[in-house]
Amino acid sequence: MGRGDGRGRIVSPDGADDTGTRILHVDMDAFYAAVEVMDDPSLRGLPLIIGAPDGRSVVSSASYEARRYGVRAAMPVGQALRLCPTAKIVMPHFDRYQAVSKQVMAVFESITPMVEPLSVDEAFLDVQGVRRLWGSPGEIARLVRERVQAEVGITCSVGVAATKHVAKMASTLSKPDGLLIVAAADTLDFLAPRSVRAMWGVGPKASEALEARGIRTIGDIRDSPQEMLDRAVGPALGARIAQLARGEDARAVETERVEKSVGHEETFDVDITDREFLRAELLRLADRVAVRLRRADWECATVAIKIRFDDFTTLSRSQTLAEPTSVGQRIGEAAQNLYESIDRRDPIRLVGVRAEKLRPAGSSAFALWDDDEHWRKVEGALDDARARFGNATITRARHVGRGDGRGAVRHPKDHGVD
């Protein structure tokens, strides 16, 4: 769920210049809430919180009416209700969201074969090869919006640009139900006044480090000496954000589906309710997955988790990362976020973490994470230590001597590349 509440949206007029563009970023508007409204029109116009009514659960999504009160994804429902007391809570229906997502992706693929889904509600499209069939990129973007509305019944916002990074920023600024086109020649002017926090993949820590040095806009990044950027966020990210600030983004729309995956699971003899213990387990499993990725020289583009409850009901959730990784910390954070998105609080007998959509390490043009370089060094050092002293002797400090408080016995199950 995006953080925007729809105020201050920017859209392009009809006939806007789309010279030099080829990339569309299409993002559904408040997707979960939109599906619920589509299925129950009486909800239209109401501030909606998608989540369980239990005040300890977290918000999965919210309508724009609720977002204007400050409601955000992953916020405790109790806090969300304090911000918006009139909000209506709607239980999520993830199977329904997946079904609607398939309808949306089918619309995209009927227009261009060059579709790269990022999650259930957003995707990149490269339309360069279908211009003779459908028209200019701007015309194709309007066609996408019209067909999603007519054939699926929900609205989407579209950014059109020469690069992925700018297209994604443009779609965010145009939400909800908007279209923003950034011609190639206008890229630098478009980027200059935007906050460093608006850059796709540049996290809060990196943004704070930049702002502490007076670098608040993308234009400021462009005007800053490279040495200053490197001191603020490290040489790797410093070089990458300098490229982005200049409008340089070599990443192409990737349609190849790599089905190989690596995963680890743990089954407990005693069902677990301790959420902090389960979060720690997910991080531990993510570390094991990451070790195997690095040994095979792979990175993953998607992280998935599996949760099996005491009644043997099994839920799976997945998230496409902004950039592929083989860093356990990053995989673990994604796994923990996916776990927090599950509202059900029943005892758990099994947890699993899986790395999916594998690709050769270093195959991306560049990464955008703010602290992966540090974690790569730390985990690389751990890899060296394991090679010398064995796996059993090396673990995170938080796992040392940690029990589950219930006498649970772990039964590990590994999943290789398949």
Active site residues: 122
Tell me the DSSP string of 136-164.
Answer: SHHHHHHHHHHHHHHHTS--EEEEEESSH
Instruction: Return the structure tokens found at 101.
Output: 């997502």
Q: Which residues are annotated as a binding site for Mg(2+)?
A: 27, 121
Phi, psi of 107 (to 5 degrees): -60, -45
Report the distance separating Cα 380 and Cα 367, nearest Å.
Answer: 18
- Helical segments of 11-126, H only: 31-39, 64-67, 77-83, 94-111
DSSP state of 58: B
Do 350 and 278 form a contact (C-beta atoms < 8 A)?
no
Among 296, 306, 265, residue whose Cα is nearest residue 359: 296
3-state secondary structure 217-235: EHHHHHHCCHHHHHHHHCH
Report the distance separating Cα 392 and Cα 259, nearest Å.
Answer: 30
Among 345, 286, 287, 335, residue whose Cα is nearest residue 313: 345
Neighbours of 95 (CB within 10 A): 8
What's the Rg (C-alpha) of the chain?
22
Phi, psi of 359 (to 5 degrees): -150, 160
Give strand pairing partners of 267.
Answer: 350, 411
